[in-house]
Structure 1
Amino acid sequence: MIELSRLSLCMIVKNEEDCIGRCLDSVKDVVDEIIIVDTGSTDRTIEICNSYGADVLQFSWNENFSDARNYGIERATGDWILWLDADEEVDKAERYKLRDSLYQDDYDLLFIHLVNYYGNEVDPDKVINVEHSRLFRREKGFRFVNKIHETINANEILKTKEELERIGRIPLKVYHYGYLNRAVDEKKKYERNITMLKKELDEDNHSPWIHYHIGSEYYRINEFEIAFEHVNKSIVEFILAGYTPPSMLYKLKYSILISLGSFEGAWPGIEKAVALYPDYVDLQFYKGVILYYKDMVQEALKVFDHCIELGEENLKYLILRGLGSFQAWYYKGLCLEKMGEIEEAIHAYQESLSQCDTLDAAREALNKLLDKEVR
């Protein structure tokens, strides 16, 4: 007889009446208990959570997201913990995969596919994809660390080769709406995050990630010079601590330099980043953009072809939708047009638009070439 495993949903919330129902609706039929840690809601959040049969716990906010999450985990009774944010939603067509995953005895920690929307509205072509650890066995001692941008302490629990092999993945998408422009503005996330991050930066032995997260906040509001300063400090701190800087740092660094139009400053440094992470399509794409604007067009064309070959399925990296598909085809078109290969350029623009019909730059470039062809 198969022993039934129980699944606990653990969340922390504050004033989430606009989205908490959507989140709970997406998992109510597949979890065995709902543990909600409320850090001071003054709207209908608690009332809505109660309507789903949640166990709502009060937690006095101490400016530490990990403490709040761990408070909920300590009171959960399930064999497995699923953690979500209120501004997230599990794909309803895939949610039963959560139940299937409970009986995979080979794993202690499971990753899902996190789909992060950005921009003014939900658009499947404006997303950042990455795999994210969201399910873990309660009895293994997993806990959250870091006051902000909290993460699971997987490195402390899974150390040996055998233990690391107990990390798995399930084909389940979770949609995150919290960084759409409206949500960021309403929640005043920039002000909250930057204040907390700077406080943590003042602490002794702060994580090298703190400068990265500060840089990300400044990047989001187009303060590129300040963002660049912080991402470089993060890279240095990782190196001094004896670690290879994570791929996300180089993605942010070269995105900043491209935003600043500093193509000379980005070359040839991008080569070293690509050598560290050769299968990271975003870094390859940035290399292609840098080469294109340095008028190294033939070299850039080869890079964009490689981006298309790599695609966007390698979710161990933070992947910006389009860089291994329609954006790479658009830049391929630019390269071909510059080389005088007009028919091939037209095909590239058409391919780009077939994958994303809202890419105005590709449409304008295509129409311009077609108008010339008619004349």
Structure 2
Amino acid sequence: MQVIEEGLLSLCMIVKNEEKWLPRCLESVKGVVDEIIIVDTGSTDRTKEIAQEYGAAVHDFEWNDSFADARNYGLEQARGEWILWLDADEEVDAEGREHLRDVLSQQECFFGRIKVVNYYGTFPVSYDRSHIMNQYRLFRNDPQLRFAGAIHEQLDVEALDLPRNSVFVLPVTLHHYGYLEETVAEKGKKERNLRLLEKALEAENHDPWLDYHYASELYRSEKLAEAFERVNVSIASFLKSRRKPPSLFYKLKYSILMALGSYEGGWPGIELAIKLYPDYVDLHFYKGVILMSMQKFTEAIEAFEYCLTLDEDHPSYLTMVGTGSFLTWYYIGSCYELMENLPKAEQAYRKSLELSDTMEQAREALQKLGVSESAPEN
């Protein structure tokens, strides 16, 4: 029988062949968590030895194609009153990491939410090349609360009747490196995930979230036409059951359209998505790109300027860093350049670079205009 001890914080992880990433992850929570539960699903490298060096309790689990089963096995071993769950390719930011323990003093809350920064592209990482989202990464150790889903597993919160104020927001940032190109290639994530999702989709009346996740994997595998078809299936499934499709579905749909170059295919549908999520900066950004591609430059600038009034670090959405700042200023500059208003184009490009010195497109645009990157003298 599982014994839960008050005042303890347990870290629960599932791993396989993570010797490259695991030390960084465990070092980031050293001295913050009270126990480390590692579920190993078949490592052949030094993963288990590294975990033990950090004082972890390592439990072997025979892989059965279910991430939820592996995570739940780890939960059964945890003694902590609260549980933090991480993946090996994640790292808790040093600034504020001690606030993870703040959940231990919460009497009414059931979940702890932290900011997750998902990097894309290649090393070295940059915050300007990331998507950010607040996620529930801490929760009370309750035998009724378990993960569900063979892949892209999620906590089955419907199993508990929780009050609306059951979430505690912590000033903690988590860095996730799992979507970097070399990480995805090293782990063969695309092939594995597609295989597991295809298996799960064979079930009748499957959760439309599976269609969304399958579309996401197809998108990352650059199978864009298939991805677009599948994400529309996921949206239609929600609408058919008279449920509001999650904002993530629309973000993916218009990301795919942008990648396909099918800008006019997003009009006027993007307006309907915005009606559902009027404060989602990414959707307004896509609207601006669509209008720009249709040569409606004045309307596009209006859409982009509205982006600048919205929060790109919104607690409810997955947002691309820059859609409410440097990326938007670059596109405003592009619109003005296409309108042959070069002074305003230059001003916007400079604003983009001022907000992000990694914005190479803005730097190249200034060079194309034949002006110096440095700010002009008054």
TM-score range, shorter chain: over 0.9
Q: Which residue of 1 aligns with 2:216?
A: 216
Q: In structure 2, how many angstroms separate the alpha carbons of the residues matched to 1:329 and 1:284?
A: 14
Counterpart secondary structure, 1:291 = helix
Q: How far 1:284 moved relative to its partner?
A: 0.5
Counterpart secondary structure, 1:287 = helix
Q: Which residue of 2 aligns with 1:299?
A: 299
Contact 1:158–1:164 (8 Å) recurs in 2 = no
Say whether residues 1:154 and 2:157 are aligned partners. Answer: yes
Q: Any residues of structure 2 matched to 1:247-326 within 5 Å, and which?
A: 247-326=247-326
Q: How far 1:4 moved relative to its partner?
A: 6.2
Q: In structure 2, how many angstroms separate the alpha carbons of the residues matched to 1:4 and 1:81?
A: 12
Q: How far 1:261 moved relative to its partner?
A: 1.6
Q: In structure 2, how many angstroms separate the alpha carbons of the residues matched to 1:198 and 1:123?
A: 33
Contact 1:129–1:315 (8 Å) recurs in 2 = no
Q: How far 1:371 moved relative to its partner?
A: 4.4
Contact 1:349–1:362 (8 Å) recurs in 2 = yes
Cα deviation code 1:151-187 (max 9, x no counterpart) = 111233245xxx1211121110011111111110010
Letter in 2 for 1:145: A
Q: Any residues of structure 2 matched to 1:140-219 within 5 Å, and which?
A: 141-159=144-162, 163-219=163-219
Q: In structure 2, how many angstroms separate the alpha carbons of the residues matched to 1:263 and 1:38?
A: 45
Contact 1:8–1:77 (8 Å) recurs in 2 = yes
Say whether residues 1:131 and 2:134 are aligned partners. Answer: yes
Contact 1:113–1:132 (8 Å) recurs in 2 = yes
Counterpart secondary structure, 2:105 = coil
Contact 1:140–1:157 (8 Å) recurs in 2 = no
* Gap regions ≥5 residues in structure 1: none
What is the TM-score normalised by the length of structure 2? 0.94
Q: In structure 2, how many angstroms separate the alpha carbons of the residues matched to 1:70 and 1:348?
A: 51
Q: Which residue of 2 aligns with 1:42?
A: 44
Q: How far 1:265 moved relative to its partner?
A: 1.2
Letter in 2 for 1:195: R
Q: How far 1:140 moved relative to its partner?
A: 6.5
Q: Percent identity?
A: 52
Q: How far 1:218 moved relative to its partner?
A: 1.3
Letter in 2 for 1:341: N
Q: In structure 2, how many angstroms separate the alpha carbons of the residues matched to 1:5 and 1:158?
A: 24
Letter in 1 for 2:126: D
Q: How far 1:357 moved relative to its partner?
A: 1.7
Q: In structure 2, how many angstroms separate the alpha carbons of the residues matched to 1:154 and 1:139?
A: 11
Q: How far 1:315 moved relative to its partner?
A: 2.9
Q: Which residue of 2 aligns with 1:103?
A: 105
Q: In structure 2, how many angstroms separate the alpha carbons of the residues matched to 1:311 and 1:298?
A: 23
Q: How far 1:214 moved relative to its partner?
A: 1.1
Counterpart secondary structure, 1:192 = helix
Q: In structure 1, how many angstroms separate the alpha carbons of the residues matched to 2:227 and 2:340?
A: 38
Q: In structure 1, how many angstroms separate the alpha carbons of the residues matched to 2:83 and 2:318?
A: 24
Counterpart secondary structure, 1:317 = coil
Contact 2:112–2:136 (8 Å) recurs in 1 = yes
Q: In structure 2, how many angstroms separate the alpha carbons of the residues matched to 1:140 and 1:13?
A: 22
Q: Which residue of 2 aligns with 1:51?
A: 53
Q: How far 1:136 moved relative to its partner?
A: 0.5
Q: Which residue of 2 aligns with 1:94?
A: 96
Q: Any residues of structure 2 matched to 1:232-247 within 5 Å, and which?
A: 232-247=232-247
Cα deviation code 1:252-275 (max 9, x no counterpart) = 111111221212211001100011
Q: How far 1:92 moved relative to its partner?
A: 1.4
Q: Decide which of 69, 72, 75 is 1:70's aligned counterpart.
A: 72
Tell me how many residue pairs correspond in the alignment. 368
Contact 2:82–2:103 (8 Å) recurs in 1 = no
What is the TM-score normalised by the length of structure 1? 0.95
* Gap regions ≥5 residues in structure 2: none
Cα deviation code 1:6-47 (max 9, x no counterpart) = 100000011101111111111120111111111111110000
Counterpart secondary structure, 2:97 = coil
Letter in 1 for 2:141: R
